[in-house]
Amino acid sequence: MQDSNSKMALSWTEVDLEVAQKNDVIIHQQNIKEEDLIQKELPSDIHMVYYRHDGKEYSDAVRGIRKTDIFDIYYDKLKTVNGTLIDIKNGFGNLRPNMYNDNQKKKG
């Protein structure tokens, strides 16, 4: 998992990531701004997830086919740390998901 900032609101355990991947959700990049996404290099199944934790707002780029799957993973994680899910937006990335080379999937 890539991260653009070492100060991340959520810390994902290996178990968390395995559960997410079983639900076809991959945390692509944490704590990234929407305007920093390079559309032509990303798959079209990228979503931006916006959430609040400890009074600060964060956004992550997350791969997933269905928003409901992403919602479930983030909702469950955020409720354990008293965080709040704000929004999930789709429509990012230009590459077909099956043509995107993602090192995350190769690990599993």
- What's the pLDDT tens digit per position in 21-46? 999 999 999 999 999 999 899 999 99
Give 102's pLDDT tier (boundaries 50, 70, 90): low
The answer to whether 61 and 46 have CB atoms below 8 angstroms apart is yes
Residue 108 in this model has a pLDDT that exceeds 50: no
Per domain, the residue ranges of the chain are 2-97
Q: Please give the pLDDT value at position 8.
A: 58
Q: Please give the pLDDT value at position 91.
A: 87
The answer to whether 92 and 61 have CB atoms below 8 angstroms apart is yes
pTM of the model: 0.83
Give me 24's structure tokens: 């076809």
